Amino acid sequence: MIVNFSDYIRQINFPLQYKKIIKNLKNKKIVIYGAGSFFLYLIENYDFSPLNIIGISDTKFEKEDEGKYFKGFRIIPKDKILDYEPEVILLGVQNYYSLLFDFETNIFYDTNIQIIPIAKRIGINERKRNSQMLTQIFKIDWMKILSSKRKRIVLKRLLWESYRRSMYSRVKKDSKKVRKKLAQKVKNEKLKVVFTLHQAEKWKCETIYRLMEQEKIFDPYILITIPESVNPDYPSLKKNHFDETIKFFTTRNYKVLEGYDWQKKEYIPFNEFSPDIIFYQQPWNVERQQGPLETSKYALTCYVPYFIANAGNDIEYGLDFHLQLYKHYILNEKIKSFYAQKMLNNGDNLVVSGHPQLDYFWLNRKEIDSAEKRYVIYAPHWSINVPVENYATFEWSGKFMLEYAKSHPEIEWIFKPHPILRHRLLNQNVMTEKEAEEYWREWAKAGVVYESGDYMDFFKHARAMITDCGSFLTEFFLTKQPVIHMISDSAIPYNPSAADIVKNYYKAHNIDELERHLDTVIIQKNDYMKEQRIKALENMNLDNCYAAKNIIDDLKSELIQ
**Which of 21-35, 136-150, 433-447, 479-493 is predicted least confidently?**
136-150
92 in Cβ contact with 118 (< 8 Å): yes
pLDDT recorded at residue 482: 97
Tell me the domains of the chain and their CATH numbers. Answer: 5-140 (3.40.50.720), 168-354+546-559 (3.40.50), 360-540 (3.40.50.2000)
Over residues 86-114, mean pLDDT: 81
Of 39-48, 98-107, 149-158, 400-409, the one with minimum mean pLDDT is 149-158
Q: How confident is the model at residue 126 (pLDDT cuts 50, 70, 90)?
A: very low
pLDDT band at 132 (very low <50, low <70, confident <90, very high): very low
pLDDT of residue 393: 95
State the pLDDT at residue 140: 45
432 — phi, psi (to 5°)? -85, 170
Lowest mean pLDDT among 146-160, 258-272, 314-328: 146-160
The Cα–Cα gap between 317 and 400 comes to 35
pLDDT at position 165 over 80: no
Round to whole Å and give the CA distance between 283 and 124: 33
The mean per-residue pLDDT over the stretch 75-95 comes to 90
- The predicted-structure confidence for 191-246, as pLDDT tens digits, reads as follows 999 999 999 988 999 999 999 999 999 999 999 999 986 566 677 788 999 999 99
Identify the top-confidence range among 57-66, 108-117, 408-417: 408-417
In 15-119, which ranges are E strands?
29-33, 52-57, 69-70, 73-74, 88-91, 114-117
Q: What kind and span of H or E run contains 97? A: helix 97-102
Instruction: Write out pLDDT tens, residues 390-429.
Output: 889 999 999 999 999 999 999 999 999 988 899 889 988 8
Residues 11 and 124: beta-carbon distance below 8 Å: yes
Residue 4 pLDDT: 63
Tell me whether residue 559 is exposed, middle or buried, using C-beta atoms within 10 angstroms of its C-beta: 0 to 12, 13 to 18, 19 or more. buried
Q: What is the DSSP string of 392-419?
A: --HHHHHHHHHHHHHT-TTSEEEE---T
In the chain, the amino acid numbered 380 is P
Percent of the chain with pLDDT over 90: 64
**What is the 8-class DSSP label of residue 312?**
S
pTM here is: 0.71
Q: Percent of the chain, pLDDT > 70?
A: 90
Where residue 163 falls among pLDDT bands split at 50, 70, 90? confident
User: pLDDT class for 335, splitting at 50, 70, 90?
Assistant: very high
Q: Which helix (H) or strand (E) holds 181?
A: helix 149-185
Cα–Cα dist 89/30, whole Å: 6
CA distance 559 to 134: 35
* pLDDT tens sequence across 320-332: 899 999 999 999 9
138 — pLDDT class (breaks 50, 70, 90): very low
Cβ burial 159-186 (10 Å sphere, 16+ → b, else e): bbeebbebbbebbeebbeebeeebeeeb
- Residue 274 near residue 190 (C-beta atoms within 8 A): no
Number of residues assigned to the chain: 561
pLDDT, mean over the chain: 88
Q: 167 and 130 in contact (C-beta within 8 Å)? A: yes
How far, rounded to the nearest angstrom, does the alpha carbon of residue 464 sit from its chain's CA centroid?
28
Neighbour order of strands in the sheet with 375-379: 447-449, 412-415, 375-379, 462-467, 483-486, 506-508
Task: Give the pLDDT of residue 386.
Answer: 77
Extract long-range pairs of 177-183: CB within 8 Å, 24+ residues apart.
Answer: 178/276, 178/296, 178/297, 178/298, 178/299, 178/300, 179/300, 179/558, 179/559, 182/276, 182/277, 182/300, 182/559, 183/558, 183/559, 183/560, 183/561
